[in-house]
Amino acid sequence: MNVQDNHTNKILKSQRGMSLVEILIALTLLGIAGAFVVSNVFDNLQEGKQQAAEIQMQKLGEILRDYRRKCGLYPTSDQGLDALLAKPTGGRECRNYPPNGFIENGKIPLDPWDFEYLYESDGRKYTLISFGADGIEGGEGFDADINSNEL
C-alpha cells in the first residue's frame, strides 16, 4: 500500500458519517440540556411573578394610605378595594373623596397569576394577600401566599 492509498482510506473513513447510536446519544444530551434551560426559564418567570405581586401590593398599600389620609380610615373588608374606585356607601362617609377615585385607570389590578387580591380590614389596619401560583390558601414555593404584612 502506498502513501496515496493510505491518504484515500483516511478520507473515506472520515466521511463515513455518524452511527445511529451516536445520533441518539447526541439527541439525548441535547434533550437534557434543553430541559435544564426550560426549567431555569420557568423558575425565573415564577420568581418574577412573585416580585411583581410584592410590588403591586406595595403600590396598593400607598393608595390605601392615601385613602386613609383623606378619609380617616382604611376601607373596611365589606367595602373592599372597590372603595378605591368609587365612593363607598354605608359606614363612615368620606368627605374628601376624589371625584375620579384613587386609582387612575379605574381597575383594581389582579395579581400576576390573574387572581384577585384578598383584602381584609377593620378600618384601622389592612392586609392584602395573594395566594400565589395555585390561587388557593397556603402552599409552598411558588404556590406560597404573599402577605402585605410580611413585606
Residue 107 domain-assigned? yes
| Whole-number Å distance between alpha carbons of 132 and 53 | 9
What's the whole-model pTM score?
0.77
Q: What is the pLDDT along the chain (151 residues), one digit of tens a residue?
A: 555 556 555 555 555 667 888 888 988 988 888 888 778 888 899 999 999 999 999 999 999 999 999 999 999 999 999 999 999 987 778 889 999 999 988 899 999 999 999 999 999 999 999 999 999 999 999 999 999 999 9
Residue 59 domain-assigned? yes
Residue 2 domain-assigned? no
Ranges of beta strands (E only) in 4-149 are 118-121, 126-130, 146-147
Name the domain count of the chain: 1
Residue 23 domain-assigned? no
CATH number where 85 lies = 3.30.700.10
Residue 128 domain-assigned? yes
Residue 126 domain-assigned? yes
Residue 97 domain-assigned? yes
Domain range holding 126? 52-150
What is the torsion angle, in degrees rounded to the nearest 10, for the CA atoms of residue 142, residue 144, residue 148 and residue 149? -140
| Whole-number Å distance between alpha carbons of 4 and 138 | 76
Residue 28 domain-assigned? no
